Structures are given as C-alpha cells and as structure tokens.
Structure 1
Amino acid sequence: MTLIGAIRLMSGWHRLIKQVRSKLDESLPWGSGRRSLWTALIGLVLAVLVTLVWLAGRYEASQVQAELEHDTANAVSDLRGSLSRQVQALQALQSEPFAPAEWQPKILELLRDNRDWLRVEWRDTSWQLQAFADSPLRGPVFERMARSEVLNEANQACQRAKRLNGPAFSSTYFLPRSDGLGIEVMELCLPVTQTGELMAYMVVTYSLQELLTERLGPTFGRNNELSFVEPDGTRLAIAGTQRGEQRVFTSQQLVDLPGNTLLLRMDGRRGKPDLFPNVLTALVTGMSMALITVMVLLTKDARRRQKAESDLAEALAFRKAMEDSLVTGLRARDLQGCITYVNPAFCQMVGWEAEALIGKNAPMPYWPPEMVDEYQQRQAIRMAGNVPPREGFESVFMRQDGERFPVLIIEAPLISVQGEQTGWMGAVIDISEQRRIEELSRASQERLQATARLATVGEMASLLSHELNQPLAAIASYANGSLNLLQDPQAVPQTLDDVHMALRRIAEQAERAGRVINSVHDFVRRRDQSREPVQPQALLDAVAPLMNLQARKLQVRVHMRVAAGLPPVWCDRTMVEQVLLNLARNGMQAMDVPQCRDRVLVLQVQRAGPHAEDAGVEFTVTDLGEGIGPEVAAQLFNPFFTTKAEGMGLGLSLCRTVIEQHGGQLEFEAQTPKGTVFRFTLPVATA
C-alpha cells in the first residue's frame, strides 16, 4: 500500500468520524454523547498511528524490492549487450578468408580481452576441427575430459545456428577440471558464410562463472549476489558479495538467448526499514495534528452545520439561476411519462407556461396533431427502456400559435440517491437556425462546385493548347517538307521514299497528339494515368525526332548518354515524353542567343544512387546557356510565369506536377562554368 492509499484511508476515517458524531448527537444526551465521541476519536487516532507505522514498513520494503528488480532488469540488458558485442567481434573475423596462421593471433587477442571465453574452435561443415585456441589466462579447459566426449551440446547449437542463419547458444553442462572441481560451461556456435553459402562454424566455450564475474560483477556485484540458477533453484554459477544484513530480497529475470534461456537471480541483503521514515514521520505528525484540530473544532459543529445549511440554500439558488438562464430546454418525466419539471427555456420554446405542462401525459400540447400516433409509439418505446440512454434524435414540436419547428432531443435516465431510476431527463435544442445555416452552406457549396468545374475547363484548355504545340508543329513541318518534295518535277524514287517517311512521321505525331489529349484529360480530372514499364532508351528514342527538328533549326548538337544495364521505369509514357520534350526545348531556347557559341544539349540517364538498387533511374537535361538568375529561379515553377514573349508559363509547372505524381521531384542547379542542369527520378518497375 502506498502513501496515496494511506491518505485515502485517512479521508475515509474522517468521514466515519462525522457519521459517528451525527448518530451520537441524535441518540444520546449532549454530555454522555460527547464523552463517547471523544473516546471513539482517541481510539481512531491510535489506530491511525499504528496503521501508518505498518504502512511505512510495507512501503519501504516495496521500494527496496522494486529497486532490486530494476537492477536485475538492467543486469539482463547489460548481459545481452555484452554477448551481442562479442558476436559482432567474431563476425568481424569472417570478412577475410580463413588462414590458421592469421586466425590464431587474432583469436588469442580476443581471448585475452574476454576472460569469460575458455576456448575458440574453427570447424568445417563436416564438423572436423580445423583450428582452435585455448585461453592464455588459464589452463586448457578440456584437460581432464576429452573434447570429443562433450561435443553433443556444441553440435546441437550449430544445428540450431544453421536453421536460424545466425548465432545460437547451447544448453549449459558441467565440465570437470584437473583440480578436482568443475565449472558450468555453455557453447556459442556462429556459422561462417560467404556469398550466402555455409563455409564453417566458429564455436566459443563460455564459463558461466566468469560470465557473471566479468560482465555483471563490477556493476551489480558490489551489493548483491548474482547467480545463474536452474528452474528448481539449483545454482550453476555465483558471483558478487552480500552484506551481513538480516533481511534478504530476491529477484529473478529470464535471459533469452538464441537457442537457450538462462535464469538470472539477484539476492540483496538490506537492513530492516526504519520505524519512521522521514516522509512518513511528517505525514503522521501532520495527520495527528489534523485529528486533534478536528476534535477541538467539534464544539463549533453547530455553527458549521448552520453555515452548511446556508451554503446549501445558496447552492440551490445558484443551480436554479443556472437552469433559468439556459437556452437549452430541460424536461423531466417520471416512469409513466408524466412531465414533472420544465425550465423557462423549454416553456419559451413551446409557448406554454410551466403550470400548463407539469403533470401532463401523452398526447402533449406541443405535439403536432398529425404526429400524435407516431410520438405515442416512440414514447412507449422510450418508457420501456429499449432505447440506449443519451441517444439523440430529431423531432418536430409545435408552438402554442401552431408554428412547427425542428428540435434535437437527448434523454438520459434520472437516478435517485439510492441508485434507482425515477424517470427521464431530456435536453431539447431548437435546431431551426442550424437547419437554415446548413441550407445556406449547401447552396454555397453547389456554387463553389460550379466555379471549380469552370476552372477545370479553363485548365484543360490551357493544357491542351500548350502540349499540342509540339506534335502539331512537327506535323506542319513534315507536311511542308513533303509538299516541297512533291513540287519537284524531277522527283526520283529516293525522294518518294522521303515523302513516305514524312507521311509516316505525320501519322505518328497525329497519334501522339491523341495520346496527349487523353493524358491531359486524365491529368485535369486528377485520375491515375495508365502506367507501364518502359525502357529509358525507348523514352529518348520516342522524343528524338522532335528534338532533332528543333536542334537543326537552332543549330544545337544533341548528345544522348544512357548507362548500360538500366532497368525499365514505371511511368505514364506519354506524360514523361512531354516532360523530356519540354526540358529539351527549354534548354535549346536558352542557348539561342548570339553570345552562346557552344550549343550542346546533353540528355543523360543513369542510376539515381550508386549503392541503392531500388532508388530509381535519374534523367538529366544539361544545356550551356547563360543560366537562371536568382529572381527567375524563385518563381520558375509558378504557373503562368514565363520569360518568353510567346510563352504561356505552363511548361515547367506541368512538368513538376507530372514528376511529383510519379513520386519524384523536378530540380535544377547551375552548371559549371555555365549552363543549367534539370534532373528528375522515375521509380523502377518491379515484377
């Protein structure tokens, strides 16, 4: 029991004192009742003091036990951490091929650092011993008993390690020593794997005694006795010291290891709790003074009772004022459905006086005549208790002048002091204004939706006009070239082949324009575009003809660099091709200035990260233009912002939206010594 429990017990006794005094005042004369009350109070004071002393001892003992359990949990955590670090040290030796001449010195160094290790062995997959090393800090562990006689536990641990593909511990067993004594040991088996194949096993023999002494003794063995025990209480190893105190506290914790579980026990001796701890001494003194004060104040009980009655009258008046000031109507009914109470807000709501409503039963005066039968059935269900309490429902009431208005009714059972239900209390809220506001909100929402649809139509028109410029320009270029070839009266078959090729290009660009219309339509409607796995080279090949037309016109050399062995990307092919075209066209136009002599545009595709296999594929478009100024860079991706006289300012904004829909991000940076690099990443298509 804690201090809070003691305080609660004291509060209960205080209430009991008041009840005893009240009963004595009613049944006994003033003199005899007063003496009996004083006797009872003195007895209660003594009982409180004795009980608090007992609680003090219980409290201090519980604190000591809780501290010991906390230390045990910390010891288990430290032990697990030490074993985990040792496993990591052994795993570090697996990074190099096995060579006995190099392996032996490293193992001896680890044996010197870890006194709880007795022996380390290297065995192949057929369980043949390849190399071993005994601890240089003590004699050979298997001097009296041959190693072959106790291989069973290590073999089982290695089988478990093979199944777990990780370290595994064996069960503990007793190993006799040459001095006539013996120790409890445990085996750790660590599989050695290279490129996913099992190559050998590394087996470490632990001494449980040294494990306790080295890993837990310096921290937890100063004031406690540590031991590994069997479930029946048999001690396997002991470490630490105990003070010569009389009382022993014990805590046990399981040490879960891969393949084995040890039980760690910690025994701590503590002295008997002080008779009065400091905190409880102050508490006892304070409570004793409080009891004495209560006994002295008994003479003024009459005055306090009179004041309590006055306060009660004020509280009732305050409650009545609160009920009268409420805007929510309150209505109380008994179990038969008769109205027993209404507040002024309810009377004002229905237009009837309280005297005209109290005592009324169904049908109520504020029920609309056409709904009387329905309301009577609903009231019968409510009175039967078949409706969950505090379940709000809407209804329609009628004022005295015949006006109907909607209300929300929330009813709950009325419970008496004895815990019995005496009726129902209902809260009635006029929701006429709420319904009017909801209707206005609904009309406003419809107007907003209509405005949003008009904005969507305008956005679609802007997108189509922007994205169709490139395929339509290509169609016009191929058509004009075909007309020029056909007007030549000395056309040769090679010229006709060029015309056929141009007509095929016209058909391809017309089909591309159709795909653009569909993709933009889906983009504006915010639907998921049809995505498919596409090779990065195929994306560049699809936009190459259009880029070459623009490049010849602006005298720009286009270099495409695609890394070998790139996986396909998961994307909407048409929209990503538009992104590449927009970025390439912007790069060419950035170099269309007289001072730019080296007009080279580089499109490069490579892995997004050198070490992340699933990081995605990165596309970069690099130009050698004059670069982007800080004032332009701040609003480069804003819709309708453009530095071109004939531009619409939608290209880069749409490119960024498309890439973000694919889970990437469109970024740019300055190129040294001049130029700009735009890059984005597309996800890799999984199986």
Structure 2
Amino acid sequence: MRALTPVSSPPLPVARVLRPAFARLRFLRSVWRRWFLWVLLAVLVLVLLVTVVWLAGRHEVEQTQNVLDRDTADAVSDLRVGLQRNAQTLRASLGEGVDRERWETRAADLLREHREWLRLEWRDAALQVRGAVDTPYRRHAFEDTRRGADQPDVLLACAAARKLGAPAYSPSHYVPFSQGTGFEVMELCLPVEGGAYLVASYSLRDTLIELVAPTLSRGQEVAFTEVDGTRLVAIGAPRRVGTRVFTAQQLIDLPGAPMMLRVDGWRAVPDLFPNMLTALVTAISIALVSVLVLLARDTRKRQRAERDLADALAFRKAMEDSVITGLRARDLQGRITYVNPAFCEMVGFGADELMSTDGEAPYWPTELAHEYQRRQAVRLAGAVPPREGFESVFMRKDGTRFPVLIFEAPLINAHGSQTGWMSAFIDISEQRRIEELSRASQERLQASARLATVGEMASLLSHELTQPLAAIASYASGSLNLLGADRSQQRSRDHDEVAMAVRRIAEQADRAGQVIRSVHDFVRRRDRTREAVAPHALIDAVLPLVRLQARKLGVRVEVALEERLPAVFCDRTLVEQVLLNLARNGMQAMDMPELTDRVLRLKVVRAGSVGRDGDGATAADARRWLEFSVADVGCGISPEVAERLFTPFFTTRPDGMGLGLSLCRTVVEQHGGVLMFEPQRPCGTIFRFTLPVT
C-alpha cells in the first residue's frame, strides 16, 4: 500500500513577495529626493548665518582687543615719559649752591605740583636722611623712625642707582596707614654729585591717576601688577555683572623694579550684532530663511493641492466613464473640446474623430444638418437654452437615427467668464419604445374594457332593439294591408296612413341604427387624435348607451349644461369612455331595492363657477378649464374603499375587472386635468374631472 505524501501549497512567486518592499523603497526614495535639497539648503543657510555672526563677533573682539592694546601701550609710554620727566625735575632741584633749607622749600613746591609723590628725601652717601619733605595732601605718610639708612627698599634702589649711575626704582612695598588702611609705595633713588642721593616715594595709585590719561580709566580698570600677575593697585570702573573682560598687559621696564600695566575693559555679552553690516547680513539671512520656510510651506500646499486635484480628476474621470449620460463640451467657436466615453459609444465615433471636426458634426443627420447648424449659431450667439431640455435626433456612425434629450448650460471658468457650452445627452430610444409599448397596452386595456362594457350591454341591446324592430314589422304589415285593399273611396285616406306608417318605419329603423352605431363607435379601435369637441357632443354621444342601462335599472337621467360653453381639446373616444364608465358606476351604485327615487345627474360647468372648500379657482382658471360631474344618490364610498379606489384591479363588484376608474384617471391626467370624488349630501357620490378648453 502506497504511503500518502502531504501536498504542500506552491510557494508564492518571488516577485509578489518583493513587490511591497520595492514599492516602499520607491516611496522612501521619492520622499528623500523631495526633501533632500530643501534640508541641504536650510542647513547651508543656517551654517552661513552662524558663520557670519561668529566671524563678525570675532572681528569685533579683535578690534576691541587691538584698541585696548593700543591704549595700554600709549599709557605705558606716558608713564615712562612722566617718570623720566619727574627724575629730571628732581635732578634740576639740586642746583649748585643749594643748601638744605632752600632745597626743602623747592621740594615742598614740587610736592604740591606732583601728587604722585608722597615724600622727598635728601640723603648722604651713607643713606642717612639730611632733609625730608612730606606731601601736603596726606598727613604722616611715613614715620621718621622707620626711614633710616637701613630701610631695605631704599637700599635696593640706591644700590641699583649707584651701579647704573642713573635713577633706579625699588620694588613696591605696602605702607600701612591709620585705621587699617594703607597704600603701595615705590621708591626712586637718584644719585647726585658728591655721593648724595635724592629719594622720592611714589604712591602707585596716585601715579596711575596723575600720569595715565583719564580717558583710559573711564569705563575700564587700570592696574599695576607684578610680573607674575599679582595685582598691586588698580583704579577705574568696577566690572559690571553680565559683561565680558578684555585684558591688555604691557611691561614697564623700570631700572631695578620691572612692573606690568594691566588694563581690563568691560563689554556686554553676548554681542550678537557687533555692527550694522553684521546686523544687515543677519537680517537678510533671517529673511532668506523665512522665505525658504514660506516656500517650503507653499510647496507643501501645492503638492497637497496637486494630490487633491489628481484625486479629484481621477474621481471625475471614473464618474464620467461610469455614467450612461453623454457629455460634450464646446468652445465659443463651436469646436468640440471634450466628450466622455458614453457619448462616443452613443454616436459610434471616437473622441479624436469628434474633436477634429470644425464644421458640421459627423453625428448630425444629413437632412437636418442645416437646422442643427442654425440652432448652434443661435446658441453660440448667447441664447440661453431651456432648463427642461429639448429633444433632437442624432445619427450613429452606421447611419441609424435615434432620439436624444439634450440639456445645455454655459461653461464658466474660474474667473467667471464663459468659455463655451456644456451639453448632456440622454438616449431616449428605449424610453420611446417603452412608452409605445405602454401606449399599446393601455389601448388594449381600454379596448378590453369597452368590449366588456359592450358584452354587458348585449342583453340590453336585444331588449332595446326588439321594440323598434317590432314596430317596424307592424307598420310594414299595416302598410301592405292598406295597399292590398281595392276600395277607391278610402284611397286618399289610406294614402295618408301609409305615408305615416312609412315615416314611423324610418324613425324606428333610424333609432335602431343609432343604437348600433353608438355601440360600434364606442367599441372600434382607432388612433388617438385630439380635437376641439363641444361638451354637449360628448354628452350626446354616450347618452343613448347611458339611457339604455338606465331603463333596465329604473334610473332617471338628468343632464345640465351651462350656456355658451367653449369646446374642449381632447381625445373624443377616451373622454366618452370616461363619461360612460362613471355613469355606469353611478347607476350600479343605486341598484338597491330600498331605493325608490334613482337619479343620475350629468353636469358640465366652468371650473371656476363651482364653489368647493379649498378648490376655489381664479377667473383665469375658469376660462381655461371645464368641469364634468357625474352624481348619484347611491350608498356612497366607505373610507376603506376610498383609499384603494384608483388602484388597478381593485373592485367591489363580483363581476368587475378593477380597471375602470384607474383608466379613467389615466385618461384625465393625460389631458392635463384631474379626477376627484366627494360625497353628496344626504347620500351618494359625485365624481368630477376637468378638461382644458380649446
């Protein structure tokens, strides 16, 4: 026995598996291509903006630093010149023959002129003080007990001066003052002839104030520092919060005591726009970025609008391809600019064939081409077509004609200007065929109803025709007897009787023929033609048949017509059938044993002369419509029956077909009128219908 092997489903094709991945890859590639250039451009603009601002800020920093370095160099130069000038002034104060008293007087004058000096001393070769004068601007700057020959600062300065043979300075030292204060002091030792020395004590703070330009210390800080950066003394504005520091240092190479001059400048941070050019470039860059953002947003909106437009066009295309209504667009010169597939299928021509024609359209019938051309010229001239449309005839490519219903409207563009005409076409061939079939079926139903009516009247005809035929036979026999007699005296009198009998025979024969003709005219089938018919002619045509049934049922027929009624425009046969059906229904409704006085009233009046609640007509309506009414005094119509009264094949009679009232309403509505009913007081029903006058 063979083993059953499992049957596995065939593997999916590789292309079907990879197709979604390739589609996703193509989508990502399109998105990347779309946004890569925009991202790259935005990054480049941002880098350019940052670089410009950074370069401008760096340039401003360099300019500020250069200015500060230049000012510092100028200040150092001023200090050197001032110190050299002070040294020369001191040297000049020791003229020849100047004694101690005269020198002290001159030194006091120099101290009043130079605020940077705290004390001037005249020392001998052993550095002992021989004369000393303090500045008048400070009290007790130094204690004499501490200003001896062993003072280290003075020793260093004078040793350097003796070695160099020129003025020399000592390193700065701190001199405490009263109440915990003090100041930095620098000693200047100037060797003079005879081995003596002039020593000047400099206040470093006052030196900065007096020998440095005041503009340098305005808005920044100026300080003396050691070579290693230790700050000795500083003047100027303090640093403000939120500022950046610009520092410049210059070496003051004094003999024996080198020092640094440091200048700290304060500048607010950050300086985003250092100058007008940078601000202008930044503003232009910001404007460019804004334009790029707006352009990107506009591009996004355009892409969205294009996508929506493509979807709308695809939707419209699908809708136009699915409808069975033909669509055609023409410009103001009459050239076809658009046709949908339904129109091409309708006429049998392709879109290229239709849109390549400049003159007559190929779907115009040859015999009607001039009429269509004239109608197109009227339309292109600006005539507004009817909103309800109009019928026409088109020709297919194979030459067959077919009817169409045309609706036209002006084609308006987005600016409100008319660019042509838009037309919609409906092929009504099938509708016409169905209408013809419906008309034929309705005529057959009406003929059947008439034949059924004639069948019911067959018994009445036999009874009705018996009387005139019997009278004819009697009159004929009497005439033969009179003619066979031979008495001459009675010839004249018999001649008159024979003539009277013959006239009676003719009357009775005409009566029988009239009854037969009425039935024949009612039954025979003929084409519908509407004509102007007098109202009394319609009543007279059906009155013999109505009275025929009225005699059998014992009904009295009353006819009432207004004077000088206009003719009505109708199909005579159909209206006569309506009158006959309503009269027969009324007489059958009165076929009750308990009813003794049976009256059927036929009445014709103007529609406006009948006063009914809610149906009041104007004078214009009265001139346009006539109202026919058939009233009986029967049992009336119950509400249950009234709801289905005009329903086809609904009847309350055992032998009825249920088509009479339905056909009656159809005939009246085809003439533009209305068929209605209402109860009659105290009993009975009134049926009314209207017909248009000629």
Q: TM-score range by the shorter chain?
A: 0.3 to 0.5
State the TM-score, normalized to the length of structure 1. Answer: 0.35
Which one has a bigger Cα radius of gyration?
2
